[in-house]
Structure 1
């Protein structure tokens, strides 16, 4: 009887452990991320005062009724059920930034790894609208992540020298992903940003 109880308790404990969500594509190895980081242009951010979120059209239709947000929710969730409008009606989402697990899509935001304003002040202000649209809806790099809504809001448009995810164990993946996106779009970084990213990559 005792053995059965212990086995049952162990099964419950294991099932309660949140399983990490599938990672977005394009996360480089640590070595490649360090190489990419070293090749990025380091200069002061330039804010021309003209940034507007609407300059980065986002949550475009991807397929059928599904837009980018719903596509990421389905990609990163577990047992996600959607209705005819592609809205997620049930599922489970693990937020890698803070380790929280959610069962309501309304508790989950889609984070832009490199925030739209940060992109603007590091080179995107010279892009075409088409390129900004691509950046805001990019499913091919580690740019879009399903995370806890208030954690995403706390991050806002901050770079890694001003904000880091609550889970220190995620620093490595966070830094590799940030570097990969900046490298893919030839965006610049500040010296403080590079220092923070270097420290985070050293946790890998």
Structure 2
């Protein structure tokens, strides 16, 4: 979960995602959820899920969002939030590199927005969840890399209300209201945890396996 920054505020998946990003920037129709690409870390989502370490959720002792430095600067008065807003939106209007207007479709709840202040940039795997599943052992630099990861499907522009409803919950505790996005949501969650070598709880793994059941790309290499 991540709230917008005070002054204003997927899907990068290698070559396939780059094409989708370019299409979105041009104002084209987004790729259908059923055509979502497989995870970028090698293997399919179910195979990746099976490799994740299963462990009880760790303690929140010592946790602070400040230990996951974000958003990183990407230009004068601009940061990673602007990058994601521009990438995930259409009909984008910029002031310098600040995103000041556009159109965003929140895949979590099928809502549309034209004001960037109504959009949050969600961390697919929330920072507090990452802390409980292994990030507590990282240094701040690595946690910053995780919090600003534009390469994995870790950052996505969604409605502020859905982002805040999700909070730091895992898929056993919260799922998007838009059920058509469940396959991609589970695939993306697994891809992030697989790359960053974060653990899952027993309930989390079971929920992910249930969400991936029947997903066409989840079983493809």
Using the size of structure 2 for normalisation, the TM-score is 0.78
Of the three residues 25, 30, 49, the one matched with 1:20 is 30
CA distance in 1, matches of 2:85, 2:38: 19
CA contact (8 A) 2:54 2:202 kept: yes
Instruction: Report the equivalent of 1:6.
Output: none
Q: Which runs of 5+ in 1 are unaligned?
A: 1-17
The 3 A distance-change label for structure 1 pair 76 and 48 is: closer
Runs of 4+ in structure 1 deviating by more than 4 angstroms, as ranges, are: none
CA contact (8 A) 2:71 2:79 kept: yes
Equivalent position SS for 1:101: strand
The 3 A distance-change label for structure 1 pair 178 and 46 is: same
CA contact (8 A) 1:21 1:76 kept: no
Instruction: Report the equivalent of 2:159.
Output: 148
Are 1:75 and 2:87 an aligned pair? yes
Are 1:175 and 2:194 an aligned pair? no
Equivalent position SS for 1:97: coil
Aligned length: 185
Give deviations 1:75-127, integer Å, cap 9, x for gaps.
0000111113x322211001111111100001100000000000000000000
Using the size of structure 1 for normalisation, the TM-score is 0.85
Tell me which structure has the larger Cα radius of gyration.
1
Which residues of 2 match residues 97-176 of structure 1 at below 5 A?
97-176=108-187
Are 1:32 and 2:80 an aligned pair? no
The 3 A distance-change label for structure 1 pair 93 and 21 is: farther
Instruction: Report the equivalent of 1:11.
Output: none
Equivalent position SS for 2:44: helix
Q: Which runs of 5+ in 2 are unaligned?
A: 1-27, 216-221
CA contact (8 A) 1:21 1:94 kept: no
